[in-house]
Amino acid sequence: MKNINNYLAKVLNVPLERVNMCSLQYEAKKVQKNQFLLQYGEICRYIYFVEKGLLKMYSIDKNGKEHIIQFAPESWLISDRSSLYFNEKSVYYIEAVEDSEILMLPPDFINRVTEGFPNSLEQSDILLQKHIKSLQDRINSLLAETAEERYMKFITMYPDLLLRVPQWMIASYLGITPESLSRVRKELARKNFVPDSK
């Protein structure tokens, strides 16, 4: 599993000998487009690492509207932490946007693979703090920034998704209507802005 090995070695600074043992700690699974890994009311049991493909996590409000919380392309982690760590019924769905290959990591996976390696433990803590910062930034963005500012941040965070997901999903993630997104894109085009999509 190339991506998980690179993630452990580069992002978490896990020594090579430990990386080679990590396949014993997770289960690989192929999922088809639109297949669910988690549904409303279930208990989340895993952290999902995307080797190939694309997942999304979202909620559905009382009017049936979908609100996308996160996308997870290759080499991203995704999970409902409240459900996973506090044994709460999930209020989210995790669904494959594309045919995907994922790794199902147990909740203590990171602790297991970094145990006994101080540098790796430090990197793990930094990773957690970055995740918390990202969530705080996202909340502030939804509350305080314009639709254009949110769209620009989306492009920075997910540069390769513009051609992989429909516009309504991007609008859902941004907390705006597809019509508002269309206006934002037209205004940026008027300013000669060209997104650097991969």
130-183 per-position pLDDT tens digit: 989 998 999 999 999 999 999 999 999 998 999 999 999 999 999 999 999 999
68 φ, ψ to 5°?
Answer: -80, 125
Give residue-wise pLDDT tens across range 12-52.
Answer: 998 887 887 888 789 999 999 999 999 999 999 999 999 99
List residues bridging with 56 in a β-sheet: 71, 95
Q: 4: Cβ–Cβ under 8 A, 6 or more apart, which residues?
A: 22, 26, 49, 51, 103
48 φ, ψ to 5°?
Answer: -105, 125
Quickly list H helices, 37-177: 81-86, 109-114, 118-144, 147-157, 167-174
Give residue-wise pLDDT tens across range 93-129.
Answer: 999 999 999 999 999 999 888 888 888 889 999 988 9
| Residue 79 to residues 11, 61, 119, 177, Cα–Cα distance (Å) | 18, 19, 25, 26
CA angle in degrees (0–180, nearest 5) for 89-81-141: 110
Q: What is the pLDDT of residue 151?
A: 95
Beta strands of the chain (E only): which ranges?
27-31, 36-38, 47-52, 55-60, 66-72, 77-78, 93-96, 100-105
User: 3-state DSSP call for residue 116?
Assistant: coil
Query: Is residue 197 predicted with pLDDT exceeding 60?
Result: no
Q: How many CB atoms lie within 10 A of CB 39?
A: 11
Helix (H) or strand (E) holding 111: helix 109-114
Give residue-wise pLDDT tens across range 41-89.
Answer: 999 999 999 999 999 999 999 999 999 999 999 999 999 999 999 999 9
Strands 66-72 and 55-60: antiparallel
DSSP letter, residue 179: H
pTM equals 0.91
